[in-house]
Amino acid sequence: MSRLILVVDDEQEIRHSLSAVFEDEGHRVVSASDSASALEVLTRESPDVIFLDIWMSVGRGEKQQEGLDLLAKIKAQYPESVVVMMSGHGSIETAVKATKLGAYDFIEKPLSLEKVLVTLQNAFQLRDLSRENRNLRQRVARSKTMIGESAAMVALKAAIRRVASTNSWVLITGENGTGKELVAHTIHAMSSRFEKPFIEINCAAIPEELIESELFGHEKGSFTGATQLKRGKFDLANGGTLFLDEIADMSLKTQAKILRILQEQRFERVGGSQTIEVDVRVIAATNKNLEEEIKANRFREDLYYRLNVVPFRVPSLRERREDIPHLIQHYLKEFSVAGSAPKTMSQTALELFSNYTWPGNVRELKNTIERLVIFSDESEISLETVLGVVPGLAASQTKIVNNESVRDRSLKGARSEFEKDFIVRKLTENDWNVSRTAVALGIERSHLHKKMKNFGIEER
C-alpha cells in the first residue's frame, strides 16, 4: 500500500536520499527544508509518518534544536501524527526530550538504510493501530449516543469532537438534566485518554472535612479511622479524566485547595510526605451561573479562569424543541420490553410533549417515558394515558392552548382527534375485538366499524 511520508531536514542531501529510498519502496514523499514549510505542507497533506531532523539551521545562523520546537507544534495541532526524530548529535537527553514531546522514535545519523526501513514499517503499524483505535472509539461513542439534530445540538456535537482530540480543560454549564455529564463522558470517550479512567467527583456531596482525603487520599494511620492507605480521586484519575461535577457547590476553602492542585498537578496525601505527580484532564460542570456566583463572592474568579479554558453550554430542551420527538422515540425504544416492538405515541400526546416546558430537561423526559411505558398497556400511548400518568404534564396542558397548531384547530378537529385516541385505547383494552369494544363504548358494532373506517383505524 502506498503511503505518504514527510521528510523535514535542512540538508538537501538527506532530503534527496531519504526520498529516493522511500520512493523505491513505492511511497509518496514530500519534503520540507524548514519548520514553516513543513507546517505549510501539513495544512494540505496528512502524512502517515514524518521524519524530522532535530538540528536545523535557522535562517543563515547556527544550527539549533529547531526540530524539537517543530515537533511540539506538530503534536499540538495533529496529536495523532507519527513522528520519527533524526539527529547526528544523539544525546540521551535530547532523545528523552523528544519522546516526552510525543516523538514515536529516534534514529541516529548517519542513517543506516536498514534501520530507516525497520523504523518506517513500525511507524506504519502504529499509524494503522491508532486509526483502528480511533474508529473503535467513535463506534463506542456512537452507542452512547447524544440524541438531537437541532442546530444547537449539531453545534455542540461538533465542538465536542473538536475538543476531544486535545487536552484542553473544559467547563460545561447548563440547566439540570440537560446532559452535562453525558457531554463530559463523550469528550472522554472520544479522546486519546479513553482507555484510562473517567473519575467523577460530585463536589456538592463531599463533606468539607473529608474533601482532602477524598481528593488526595490518605496514608494509613494519618487520622482516627484511617486504617488503610487510601488513594484519592486525583490518583485514580491519573492519565485519564477527572470530572468535577457541581463545581459551584464547593466551599471557598475547598476551591482554594482545588485551584492549587489544578495548577500544579501535584499533591501530598493526607498524613503523607511524598509528593505525587499526576497527569489529569479536568472537565468541570455546573448548573449555576458562575459569573453571578463570582459577583456574589461565592466562587473564586481565578478558579473560574483556570477551569474555563473551553466553555460548553448545553442548551435546555426548550431551546431545541425539535429534538423532543427524537428523544421520545429513542427512549420508547430503550425502555421497550425485549422482543416486543417499541410503543409509539399518538399525535396529540406528542404535541403535549413538544409544548411542555421541561424544567427537568432530558432527564425529566426520559423518566416520563419510562413511567409511561411501564404504566400503559397500549401500543400507541394516547393523550389520555399521558394525562393520567403524568399529572405535571396535565397541569401544563392549558399552555397548549396558546400553541399555534392547537389554537388554529377547530373544536370539531380536536374532538375527533380525542375520539380517535379513545377508540384506539378501548380497542387495545379489548384485544381489538370489535364487538366487545362496541359494548364497552356503548355503541352499535356497525357504528364502531364506521367510525374506525372514518378515522382510518385498521382492524388487527
Q: Per-residue contact track with ligand ATP, 399 to 418, x per CB under 6 A?
A: --------------------
Q: Per-residue contact track with ligand ATP, 285 to 314, x per CB under 6 A?
A: --x---------------------------
Three-class DSSP labels, the chain: CCCEEEEECCCHHHHHHHHHHHHHCCCEEEEECCHHHHHHHHHHCCCCEEEEECCEECCCCCEECHHHHHHHHHHHHCCCCCEEEEECCCCHHHHHHHHHCCCCEEEECCCCHHHHHHHHHHHHHHHHHHHHHHHHHHHHHHHCCCCCCCHHHHHHHHHHHHHHCCCCCEEEECCCCCCHHHHHHHHHHHCCCCCCCEEEEECCCCCHHHHHHHHHEECCCCCCCCCCCEECHHHHCCCCEEEEECHHHCCHHHHHHHHHHHHHCEEECECCCCEEECCCEEEEEECCCHHHHHHCCCCCHHHHHHHCCEEEECCCHHHHHHHHHHHHHHHHHHCCCCCCCCCEECHHHHHHHHHCCCCCHHHHHHHHHHHHHHHCCCCEECHHHHHHHCHHHHHCHHHHCCCHHHHCCCHHHHHHHHHHHHHHHHHHHCCCCHHHHHHHHCCCHHHHHHHHHHHCCCCC
- State the minimum distance, in angstroms, from the CB of residue 420 to ligand ATP: 31
Q: Per-residue contact track with ligand ATP, 359 to 378, x per CB under 6 A?
A: ---xx--x------------
- State the minimum distance, in angstroms, from the CB of residue 6 to ligand ATP: 39
The answer to the question of residue 182 lying near ligand ATP (CB under 6 A) is: yes
Contact residue for ligand ATP among 180, 193, 218, 343 (CB under 6 A):
180
Could you tell me which stretch among 54-62, 180-188, 209-217, 275-283 binds Mg ion (CB under 5 A)?
A: 180-188
The answer to the question of residue 146 lying near ligand ATP (CB under 6 A) is: yes
When CB distances are held under 5 to 8 angstroms depending on the partner's kind, the choice from ligand ATP, Mg ion, none that residue 203 binds is none
When CB distances are held under 5 to 8 angstroms depending on the partner's kind, the choice from ligand ATP, Mg ion, none that residue 176 binds is ligand ATP
Q: Which is nearer to ligand ATP, 179 or 240 (CB)?
A: 179
Q: Which is nearer to ligand ATP, 6 or 362 (CB)?
A: 362
Contact residue for ligand ATP among 37, 64, 138, 176 (CB under 6 A):
176
All three cell numbers of 19: 526520498
Q: Which is nearer to ligand ATP, 67 or 179 (CB)?
A: 179
- State the minimum distance, in angstroms, from the CB of residue 170 to ligand ATP: 13
Q: Which is nearer to ligand ATP, 70 or 163 (CB)?
A: 163
Q: Per-residue contact track with Mg ion, 125 to 164, x per CB under 5 A?
A: ----------------------------------------
The answer to the question of residue 181 lying near Mg ion (CB under 5 A) is: yes
Q: Which is nearer to ligand ATP, 199 or 362 (CB)?
A: 362
The answer to the question of residue 315 lying near ligand ATP (CB under 6 A) is: no
Which residues would be at the binding site for Mg ion (CB under 5 A)?
180-181
Binding site for ligand ATP (CB under 6 A): 146-148, 174, 176-182, 287, 362-363, 366
